[in-house]
Amino acid sequence: MRKRGASGRRDRDGGFLLVEALATLAISAVVIAGLLTLGGLMARAVDRAALRAEGAETSSRPLSVVAREIEGLARRRFAGPDGRFVFLGAPDRLAFAVAPRQDDGLRAPVAVAYQAAGPGALLRAEAPLPVGARSLDDVVFGDPVRIDLGGLDARFAYVERRPDGTTVVTDQWSEAASLPVAVRIELMEPEGGVARASRTARLIAQSEPGCAAPGKAPCSSAPKAANRPDGQPQVREGER
């Protein structure tokens, strides 16, 4: 009887040990699975961060090129009595004039247009600015060149200087009688709209004060005012 009792205790102890071992193995398996899942999540997060960093680095180079071209803006005006600047500003597009030096040393005005083309791309087109052009409708642009932005969206904004000296940022520039003091370019994530890179192209530093703000000072490229019947020069709206 004693022998059977001892044997029963050993069997029970062995059963308990087996259950404990199985429980330990199950817990270990859960822990290992959790660690593998966490490691996978961390690896994917690192990959996404690396891709974002690579995209920002890839897009920062063309962004700098675009900003430099905007800084070289030429203060050309359309023909016509209102003398509007060759400039169009919207959140997804921008058009302006430049005057690159030709092989003969002269400068000929050229219209340049940028257009956001969905995620990761910006289109650039140019065309000679015709003599007598009254609007961008008179400009026939050539085939656009695609600029890769590393999966980010391009957005334009325009900095206006108010009469009291303060500045305000707007995403639409419809004031054709004046120019913004700067153009800001931002590269945004398509989802969420988080800015990943930005550049500010300042225009006012290279301009005649009167060309950027009519009426404040003389402007060499402004059309000459016609005389009124009384012999006095006719002043355009905004120059009073």
Read off the pLDDT band of 85 (50, 70, 90): very high
pLDDT 10s digits, 184-219: 999 998 887 788 899 999 985 445 555 555 555 655
What sign has the CA pseudo-torsion 198, 63, 143, 109? positive
Residues 82/178, Cβ–Cβ less than 8 Å: no
Residues in the chain: 240
Percent of the chain with pLDDT over 90: 37
**pTM across the whole model:** 0.63
Is the confidence at residue 41, as pLDDT, over 70? no
Q: What residues contact residue 179 under an 8 Å CB cut-off, 6+ apart?
A: 73, 75, 85, 87, 203, 207, 211, 212
Domain-wise residue ranges, the chain: 1-220
Highest mean pLDDT among 11-20, 103-112, 188-197: 188-197
Read off the pLDDT band of 88 (50, 70, 90): very high
The residue with greater pLDDT, 101 or 89, is 89
pLDDT 10s digits, 161-170: 888 889 999 9
pLDDT value, residue 128: 94
pLDDT 10s digits, 29-38: 777 766 666 6
- State whether residue 36 is helix, strand or coil: helix
pLDDT 10s digits, 221-236: 455 554 444 444 444 4
